[in-house]
Amino acid sequence: MSRSRREIPEATVWVDADVTALVELRAQLKLRGADSAPGLLAFIARFVVAGLARYPELNTRINTLDDGSQEILRVAGVNLGLAAQTDREAGLTLGDIPGSGPDGLILRRDVETASAARAEPPSSSPPAASFAAPVATSSSEAGAAGSGTDPRSGLPVLDRAPLRGVRKTVADTMSRSRREIPEATVWVDADVTALVELRAQLKLRGADSAPGLLAFIARFVVAGLARYPELNTRINTLDDGSQEILRVAGVNLGLAAQTDRGLLVPSVRNADRMNTRELDVEIRRLAALAREGRATPADLTSGTFTLNNYGVFGVDGSAAIINFPESAILGVGRILDRPWVVNGALAVRKVTELTLSFDHRVCDGGTAGGFLRYVADAMENPGSVLADL
């Protein structure tokens, strides 16, 4: 776990799911035959495997080679690890447990059987079989390409792709961010019904001239940074090893964009000088440049704060990695109809989740919370805030 934390710049996304249909399906199967009805975890495992077939990048790993370079290793097949409390209590590892499921999948009954066997007195007869623990990843695994088998998983190697170009740049930036920035995360749900309705009204007047929701949020973010400028700073390390907090005049608002080349963050320069319509035009221009691969290095490296609209991927929240050397990143989840209390009565409202990851060296939780609350309040009451702006 310690090595994972040091070396892997992990990020987290989450989503609420309505699993009523799945629970009802399993209940129906249990009525037909309780012993033959798969558990809910088995269904979820099957969906996970199907998802990995569609998004195989999540079934790869990074290998560091002897010369210090890195590669992305992809294998044919999936070994699905299942974390179980019972195996920890019994002192077992997954390597001790033979899997009886498809392709050696370890099922709950396998864990229970192995736990029971561990509890029994040792027998004088030799064991029928032994199960080796997984081999640790090392640079020597590069030599396994000739055999066509990955020694850690035992699965055939599909390919080895050198980590380079945009993907390497992103990896280096995210890794450095995770190593150097002591980030913290705060989040809040916001009722954005009024904002959605405001944009709908503007679209009725002129569909082409109505700014997108992201432009409104960007305008509120810029206004929030004027009130909480600590989040628009960065830490510089000087030649003598000392550090300083650098503050600039203005905001270059980075916008995380997923492209065929990977994650890019083009920035709207001097976003603090723009109104909502101007921000909308610039956001669309930069998004097109990023998708077409025409964004310049200056476009991609000049940001002072990042806005990440991960709601377009259908997820609710994310503990995102700060775009080094910036000090904060604000994420916006999908907008859903949810029950919400309005004036003491329950109503269905348009709700989204806002998540702010920030560098705890440049500010404390009060500043981060104040900024997040300002942006949320602006999205909930856009008319009054835009009038003041």
**Catalytic residue among 87, 364, 377, 388, which?**
364
Domain range annotation of the chain: 38-163, 168-388
- Please tell me which residue in 18, 360, 377, 388 is annotated as part of the active site: 360
pLDDT at 185: 96
pLDDT at 182: 94
pTM of the full structure: 0.79
pLDDT of res. 102: 54
Place of tokens 């001097």: 270
Q: In which residue ranges of the chain is pLDDT below 50?
A: 86-87, 89, 122-146
Q: What is the pLDDT of residue 156?
A: 93
118's tokens? 């561990």
The reply to whether 364 belongs to the active site is yes
Which stretches within the chain are classed as H helix? 2-7, 20-32, 40-54, 85-89, 108-119, 165-180, 193-205, 213-227, 276-292, 297-301, 365-380, 382-388
pLDDT score recorded for residue 26: 92
Enumerate residues 6+ apart whose C-beta is below 8 A from 64. 70, 139
Which amino acid appears at position 88 of this protein?
R
Domain 168-388, CATH number (from 3.30.559.10, 3.40.1000.10, 3.30.410.10, 1.20.1250.20): 3.30.559.10
